[in-house]
Amino acid sequence: MIKPLFIFTAHKSSFKVVIKNLEALSVEQIQTIQKFVDKRNGLFDFQTYSFIIHKKLEFQEFVHLIELSFLNAICMDNPIVYKVKPRISFGQYKGMLYNELPDSYLLWLKSSYFGYERDTMEVELKVRGL
């Protein structure tokens, strides 16, 4: 049986988990995850394959919670998280969040821009897998 793959992201007062392989899971596994989320007053979103629980937890605490809940899952921490969402400070998309930029513009920046926001741009490219 395939184990659910949970990608954990901590936020200021909640955490979000993306289930990368939700489509490959059995109905019973999905129901077990749904019960886990419901028990904690969380929100399960089938469109984004994710759930959010409004409780501040760190990754190791989440893993321990999963183990105590007898969910047989693989848990991974999402290391790429912005505390403040960065905005682009130049060009035709000035003022937009980096995560709102079109892929084509980011790819163009990758080959054309070497300024001080280069690290932020490269993180966004990595997040998108470009």
CB neighbours of 11 closer than 8 A, spacing ≥ 6? 81
Q: Are residues 43 and 89 both part of a single domain?
A: no
Alpha helices (H) in 6-97, listed in sequence order: 27-39, 59-68
pLDDT digits (tens, 9 = 90+) for 37-77: 999 999 999 888 999 999 988 899 999 999 998 888 999 99
Whether residue 35 is predicted with pLDDT greater than 90 in this model: the reply is yes
Domain count, the chain: 2
Q: Are residues 33 and 87 both part of a single domain?
A: no
Q: Are residues 46 and 21 both part of a single domain?
A: yes
Last residue of a domain, one of 77, 92, 121: 77
Ranges of beta strands (E only) in 1-130 are 5-10, 15-19, 43-45, 50-53, 74-77
| Owning domain of residue 93 | 82-130
Q: Are residues 10 and 54 both part of a single domain?
A: yes
Q: Are residues 9 and 73 both part of a single domain?
A: yes
Say what the pTM is: 0.60
Compute the distance between CA of residue 80 and CA of residue 76 in angstroms, rounded to an integer: 12
pLDDT at position 22 is: 93
Whether residue 17 is predicted with pLDDT greater than 90 in this model: the reply is yes
Q: Are residues 35 and 59 both part of a single domain?
A: yes
Closest CA to 47 of 67, 19, 71: 19
Q: Are residues 86 and 59 both part of a single domain?
A: no
